[in-house]
Amino acid sequence: MEEELEAFIKQHHQTHYIGRVTRRDYRDIIFYVDKPNFEENSTADFLDRMNDIRHLNFRIDRDENWHFVSGLLK
């Protein structure tokens, strides 16, 4: 599932994989996406397919100073 998510994001975006955090049966997969611009219909279709397999919460957070991921970067 992670591979499919990464492939979907990389289709139309320049990305950098930051890492993943797993806790209490939840996993955050973190990417830096330069200039995110997700087309609504294709994104909804992809997420619907993924949610048939396992619940997926997809969100984009603006973090210009990389505060949210600073603990993952060395």
Choice among 15-19, 31-35, 55-59, 67-71 with the minimum mean pLDDT: 67-71
- Sign (positive or negative) of CA dihedral 60, 65, 68, 74: positive
Residue 19 CA neighbour count, 13 Å, CB half: 9
Residue 6: give the domain boundaries: 2-72
Q: What percent of the chain has pLDDT over 90?
A: 36
Rounded Cα–Cα distance for residues 66 and 5 (Å): 21
Predicted model pTM: 0.74
Domain count across the chain: 1
Task: Kindly state the DSSP code that residue 58 receives in the 8-state scheme.
Answer: -
Rounded Cα–Cα distance for residues 53 and 48 (Å): 9
